Amino acid sequence: MSVSEVFASARAESRAALIGYLPAGFPTVPGSKDYLRSMVESGCDLVEVGLPFSDPVMDGPTIQAAAEQALSAGFRVRDLFDVVSSVADTGGRAVVMTYWNPVLRYGVDAFARDLAAAGGLGIITPDLVPDEADDWMAASEAHGLDRIFLVAPSSTEERIDMTARASSGFLYATAVMGVTGARDVVSSAAPELVARVREHTSIPVGVGLGVRSGAQAAEIAGFADGVIVGSAFVSAVAEGDGAVRALAADLAKGVRSAAATV
Amino acid sequence: MGQFTPTPHDPDARGHFGPWGGRFVPEALIAAVDELAAEYDKARLDPEFVNEFKRLLKDFAGRPSLLTEAPKFAEHVGTRVFLKREDLNHTGSHKINNVLGQALLTKRMGKKRVIAETGAGQHGVATATACALLGLDCVVYMGEVDTERQALNVARMRLLGAEVIPVKSGSRTLKDAINEALRDWVTNVDETHYLLGTAAGPHPFPLLVRDFHRVIGIEAREQILEKAGRLPDAVVACVGGGSNAIGIFHGFIDDTDVRLVGVEPGGSGLDSGSHGATLTAGTPGSLHGAMSYVMQDEDGQITEAHSISAGLDYPGVGPEHSHLKDIGRAEYFPVTDDEAMQAFALLSRTEGIIPAIESSHALAGALKLGPELGPDGLLIVNLSGRGDKDMDTAVKYFGLADGGQA
């Protein structure tokens, strides 16, 4: 199943898709496989497998700490493909979220080739804008991967349009100006941004940054096609598998309870 | 040629110097760097802006800085040596040139808050100074390790009204301070300007930081022609991020007979793995918003730089230096901590000038280059800053508190 099919099947059920993030190798490589499976089994339609990076400028303290923990435990880029492959083998759908330098270092085409071979569906690129993505455009075409670029409340109409044209699978809308991390309230900028995006494209729009509860998921599901949750899953890992499953279930219920308002 | 005159050495419209530079930043920051680039494009051609900048350099920073011949130091170098005295600028280093320029741009953009990163504290102090002068709020991110190495500069910044935030993530040095400043910027970008301290980062920073420092090279070229009657054989500068080097290099970049020499922090030696010689030993990558040489492992994780000089302790370098290296217009080599400290002591003793440890790397580079140039040679060393801030390091290194002698 491709990323667009994930969104299409959620849409067929009149609901938003739930997208859960966890860094590969956190808390350990086998541990991340187990938790990602729990997330899939408990309601994540798609998982974002993070590639731990030494300098995560888009991440708040929770994900920074998780990346540091994975790296100090000896995480290697080749482990990422192993984790992705484990998600795909157990029936889940995975995209990778990564800062661009590890991909550059691995080789953009080689990275795309190995990710596709592992069963990954695409890459979310928080610090790569389409302006600098010529190599990635070519590699993603060659290996059949989706390109998930980001738009932000500060994006101009022109850039939203350009970014949507460069994207496939879905478009990642950052709900707030800021870094990753759970927040108490859904930003008022999010619905406005999604509305602006809709004027340029029919590609599905996922909203992330700051979502942690079923109630917030329901609110976002009222105006977006996908709800993206990261730091809250990372925090739940500290409380164990039960907490990860409970969070996924709560969020899965949330993305279904906004159906009436869509 | 004026300091802001566009030249064939400018990057393309998206900030590329050959394959280097560009913008590897979150989309959320693109609007801000676009705004900055547009504002700079207008400002550099606006006589009012240019004159106000020049006035501040003269009346506040104390420019032009002197070009001082160093004959006794030169005896050890084996060739004639002049020092470009950026150490005599207000706040004690070249950093003031860039901060005054960017602080004026901040005001033009109607922003009220400035954030900055600092390593040794020179850029932080300069930024805090410019903000005090121009009435801007100032927050400085500084790696926790550096706040300890440079406690006096932390006190200076606080005295000037800046808030100093010790950064406890990662290696707790300059690169982590930049990470934290970028996180702040993406969160508060509407009212905040990120006053980046070196000629790195996403476009337009490498261009505008360079241009604000071009004054160093323009002055040095005029001064050496007046004092020595000819152009130098080489211009030598230290390179961490590379702002003082790019500033002085540009005064001579079209004088193709003048060698442009960048001296990198070799730490405990390249073989030790404990150094910051990005151009000598790094590989292509993207860090802090631009493609350039970076220090990284085989997985693309950025590795920690090591240098006795906090200001050079950075695993990246400005993209234009990567370009100048590739096209062969500039050459780069490292000197070790020990070589830099010997040069630090030598200049102090022979000329009565205590240089910054950063600048001591350039002096050590001159000592290596001298024999090649011979007694008829002529070189300029960019003395990018003064060494007062480094006395703690010197006391420990030379054991000065125990009656030791450098």
Residue located via tokens 């207000």:
B90
Facing residue for B25 by CB, picked from A61, A127, A149 = A127
Residue A146 DSSP label:
E
Determine phi and psi for B16, rounding to 5 degrees: -95, 130
Q: What is the mean pLDDT of residues B166-171?
A: 90
pLDDT at B169: 87
> Is there a catalytic annotation at residue B95?
yes
Distance (Å) from the alpha carbon of B393 to chain A's nearest alpha carbon: 28
Average pLDDT, chain A: 95
Chain B within 8 Å of A151 (Cβ-Cβ)? yes
Q: What is the mean pLDDT of residues A133-159?
A: 97
Catalytic (active-site) positions of A? 48, 59
In the predicted model, is pLDDT for residue A73 greater than 70? Answer: yes
> Is there a catalytic annotation at residue B112?
no
**ipTM of the prediction:** 0.95
- Lowest mean pLDDT of A40-49, A93-102, A216-225, B394-403, name the range: B394-403
Q: How many residues does chain B have?
A: 406
Interface test with A, best of B180, B299, B322 (most A CBs within 10 A): B299
Beta strands B283-287 and B289-294 are: antiparallel
Residue located via tokens 């994975």:
A70
Beta strands B192-194 and B330-335 are: unpaired
All residues of chain A having their beta carbon less than 8 Å from the beta carbon of residue B36 are none
In the predicted model, is pLDDT for residue B77 greater than 80? Answer: yes
Tens of pLDDT, residue by residue over B240-298, are 999 999 999 999 999 999 999 999 999 999 999 899 999 999 999 999 999 999 999 99
In the predicted model, is pLDDT for residue B157 greater than 50? Answer: yes
* Element housing B243 (H / E): helix B243-249
pLDDT at B1: 63
Q: Which residue in B6, B41, B62 sits closest to B219, CA to CA? A: B62
Contact B334, B266 (CB under 8 A): yes
Q: What is the mean pLDDT of residues B122-140?
A: 97
Chain B within 8 Å of A112 (Cβ-Cβ)? no
Q: What percent of chain A has pLDDT over 90?
A: 89
CB contact under 8 A, B189 and A68: no
In the predicted model, is pLDDT for residue B371 greater than 80? Answer: yes
Q: What is the mean pLDDT of residues B192-201?
A: 97
pLDDT at A152: 95
> Is there a catalytic annotation at residue B169?
no
Chain A within 8 Å of B285 (Cβ-Cβ)? yes
Distance (Å) from the alpha carbon of A194 to chain B's nearest alpha carbon: 15
Tens of pLDDT, residue by residue over A214-236, are 999 999 999 999 999 999 999 99
Number of Cβ pairs closer than 8 Å across A and B? Answer: 116
pLDDT at B16: 98
Q: What is the mean pLDDT of residues A10-22?
A: 97
CB contact under 8 A, A127 and B24: yes
Residue A196, burial from CB neighbour count under 10 angstroms (0-12, 13-18, 19+): middle
Tens of pLDDT, residue by residue over B26-57, are 999 999 999 999 999 999 999 999 999 999 99
In the predicted model, is pLDDT for residue A65 greater than 90? Answer: yes
